[in-house]
Structure 1
């Protein structure tokens, strides 16, 4: 019945347009920020472990930031474009079926409503009314959970991912510029706090309990930084 309530609210303007896309941008933004923090922190920590030369560290950090932001944007665009193509294909297929097999589609809608708890009589009446209201919207929502007015937008997701990655990556790049005596510990502390925040937000976005996500996010990020610093320190003392 939740789908019917959503349809009713959308029809009366109670649900803002673009909700699906806004949630998609938020997801891309949170993941982008998290990736920016972890990946760039790992790189600058690795370089800092190999050398104390600030210019080398900055070059590595900025290069990682730019490359990572572009990579995240491209990957998000390709991924969401594939999802969008699939959604549009399903909508087109449903348009064809509604135009060429209206009776079969009405029977299918009635059956779907019965599966959602309506009696056969009520389902048959509701199917007719919903078909007269907007048959394509109803079938797309109930069959595929697609809002025909809110198909996913790859450009929005790509932009959100690139911007959030850049913002997240700026933290370790700036922290690693501190004096040599404190830069490692300061970067670790700042990144741990930032990862705790993104872990909490990602859990809330996914309706999960934040505790485990927060600990998992912080532990993974700190471990990555320590490992890359150790590798950089080892290579800096044995290879260079």
Structure 2
């Protein structure tokens, strides 16, 4: 009986002091506003450990690290925010500011038309957004076709028929963009360099030659991995190998 009472007391105490993610998020925001950036980060990270993700959470983490002049973590979390919501203008703006603190100056290779189209159109929205557009367009197509079928006037029928065809076209395009977006995101791994200075090798061994060096905050694409090594590619086309602990995958 005493054990049972003790268990209830412990449970009541835990429930009394536990806080919802919303309450924790609000508390962290208050700490951030008061300049307690480190404590705010601890609470934001505790929310993330609960398996909760959002562009607002990652954006606030990026801001907190930026205030502490921590280049790599700030860029890392801004990138994570944009991975969830590519249209987060605040994250886009602050990411640009954070990148100014990086040492490496990397000029991107000229992009082909298809690469520009993917970046500016297909990846402009998330898979979920394109899928929602496709579903809405499909419902509109069915509705417009029914209106066309049951309408009597020739002009009205022509209007409903043409708009239903347009809705079908939008549905097909949106669905294809959704699957293409999913394929690109799934097969493209990116990471941020977290070490102050990283030696990039021409092979996944410590004795191989150094081909170039990178510094914290630089974004790379992961092409392959072997044991504790990652094969990376820069925006300027340079390729090399680095130890996995030197970077953090977005």
TM-score range, shorter chain: under 0.3
User: Where is the strand percentage greater, Structure 1 or Structure 2?
Assistant: 2
Comparing both chains, which one has the higher relative contact order based on Cα–Cα distances under 8 Å and sequence gaps of 6 or more? Answer: 1
